[in-house]
Structure 1
Amino acid sequence: MSGGESARGPQPWGAMVMATGIVSVALDLAGFTGATRVLLAVTAVLWVVMAVSFGLRLRGGRDRRRREESSPVTLTMVAGTGVFGVGLLLFKREVAAEALLALMVVVWAVLLPQVVRHLKRRLPGSAYLVAVSTQSLVVLSSTLSKQLSVRWLLWPAGALLALGLVLYVFVLSRFDFGQLLDGAGDHWVLAGALSISALACAKLALAAGPPAPRPLEWLMLTILSVAFTWYVLLLCAEIRRPRPGYDGRRWSTVFPLGMTAAAAMTAGTVAGLHWLNVLGRVLLWPALAVWAVVAVGAVRHAAASRTSA
């Protein structure tokens, strides 16, 4: 989601964590446990680098710190931590996931008001991180609630779900739709923010059920259908105006692709719709392919930067 990270800038570690982590989760949903372990290990390494980078970027003078804290890109720290926490729960690492959730809450509470306050008109795709980071809290807390049978977490998670949807609409009203044809990758978060909202509904429904509450199930399917619509429109825009070459913001394309696949598989389970689960499995493969292409591009970019230095 690194709206401010270009091919010539520093590597967007937060977006890397989000993209790699969600692809690993989607692989687990599809039954590829071995591949999940490999990508989750990569996610863990990237998360450590992201956390160190996050701390270093907030050092320095007051002006620089304010500039960093008001940028939507800083919220990749929250969203990336949430995805990593869900990945850890796949392997029963509840204590670590609880610690990550506590860290997320603090960072989100500090950063979100500042980011929202500085949002202007004609926003880039990275602005949707205000919704993504909020829904990532819902996903992790709901998953913990179900796994640990801690039902009180469902109440704040439900409130955050509603807030995340409000933030999505707010950003949508200010989004620069010219990004569909001109964006460098983070414009895909237009769809990804809805996909994680649908996943948040599904996780809440699983934690609250069985049976899954009907209103949550309907909301989940409605949000997911809109996410699918954006997915198709964004794909058509990419075909109409290809944007080859590595750009750090392409990690923000990988995340929505992986998130849509994971959301579809989870929603299919919640709603008992086998075809939706199959569709999610089909969508996993382009997500994995784009992840591999962007990862190769990142390695080459890092090597070229080191050589030129």
Structure 2
Amino acid sequence: MATGILSVGLFLTGHDVLSEILLAIASLLWVLLAADFTDLIARDRARWTKSAITPPALTAVAATTVVGTRFSLLGWQWLAITLLVIAAVVWPVLLLAVVRHWQRGMPGGVFLVCVATQGLSVLAATLYFAGKGEWLGDAALALFGLGLLLYADALLRFDFRQVWEGAGDQWVAGGALAISALAASKLTASPLWTGTGHEFLRNLTYVLLALALAWYATLAAAEAVRPRFHYDVRRWATVFPLGMTAVATLSTGVVTDVPWLRTLGRVLLWVAVAVWGVVWVGFAWARVGGPRGGAPTPPLPETGAPPQTPLLKRRRG
């Protein structure tokens, strides 16, 4: 997810070579994680079931939609459609399993119910703009609405102490709103909705992006006041929201024709790229036996997307 969304952002800002390098990395990681996911089902069903009821399991859906979106932008619509089908089949199974085991006082991963759902909305809308069926636009709108409802429910279950104490996944609280803003901006660009419906979607895009940026500022301030420098696998769940906020800001700036949002999106993108690099260094250092702070944590999936659409198109300069 983290690497895939940065590939999308770099594509939107005209850095094709870097974007394709990150897409190759994201694709390789997706294949490895998909193989591990399948192998776990075949070899240890009990362990798979235990993992499937936790919110991080939904990174399987979210990562698939992000990579699918990037392939659609690359013009590989057949592969994007295949990934959409895979994500759509897995999504209800994992979503129901996770929701049925929700509790109060959960960490930031609880917002992955929204991220996975909005990821489907974004990919469906991207394929709609690529001319793969008007029904995909309607599906994107339905998924977008469901994603917002899931966010509201997740917010009630989120432990707000995680803002100060979280090991990285607390950032998903803002990332979920950012991907919601991205989905809203795509819907705003769609000719399926005009008049009052278009204005509502446009204003909702602004609101969601503003809330995502507010989360960004709050979480960044909390990190500055209470630094957490040690590597933790949940730091990948920090990189994805950083990248998603950048992409949502870029996309909203294009759709609404607000230049300063495009500029802000570029700045946020390079911040996300820098943090991505730092987390990779931390990961490599931990793998070779370097010192790590904090309590050990169980491994989680990484949370790190033709004809160009009216939304996800590049602006140079």
Secondary structure of residue in 2 paired with 1:122: coil
Structure 1 residue 301 displacement after superposition:
2.1
Counterpart residue identity of residue 227, structure 1: A
- Cross-structure match for 1:117: 100
Q: Distance in 2 between matches of 1:267 and 1:197?
A: 11
Structure 2, unaligned runs of 5 or more: 291-317
Aligned residues of 2:5 and 2:244 also touching (Cα < 8 A): yes
Q: What TM-score comes out, normalization by structure 1 length?
A: 0.90
2:36 to 53, 62, 78: 53
Per-residue CA deviations over 1:47-69 (Å, capped at 9, x if unaligned) read 10110121233344553232122
Does 2:124 align with 1:141? yes
Q: Distance in 2 between matches of 1:61 and 1:51?
A: 15
Task: For 1:19-98, list aligned pairs within 5 A.
Answer: 19-98=2-81
Does 2:213 align with 1:228? yes
1:171 to 126, 133, 154: 154
> Percent identity over the alignment?
46
Secondary structure of residue in 2 paired with 1:216: helix
Aligned residues of 1:58 and 1:69 also touching (Cα < 8 A): no
RMSD of aligned alpha carbons: 1.5
Q: Distance in 1 between matches of 2:267 and 2:150?
A: 30
- Cross-structure match for 1:199: 182
- Cross-structure match for 1:258: 243
- Cross-structure match for 1:103: 86
Q: Distance in 2 between matches of 1:60 and 1:119?
A: 26
Structure 1 residue 299 displacement after superposition:
1.9
Secondary structure of residue in 1 paired with 2:3: helix
Structure 1, unaligned runs of 5 or more: 1-17
Cα pair distance change 1:120/1:273, threshold 3 Å: same
Aligned residues of 1:143 and 1:207 also touching (Cα < 8 A): no
1:289 to 270, 274, 299: 274
Counterpart residue identity of residue 295, structure 1: W
Q: Distance in 1 between matches of 2:95 and 2:177?
A: 18
- Cross-structure match for 1:249: 234
Structure 1 residue 149 displacement after superposition:
5.0
Cα pair distance change 1:106/1:278, threshold 3 Å: same
Q: Distance in 2 between matches of 1:109 and 1:75?
A: 10
2:265 to 251, 261, 280: 280
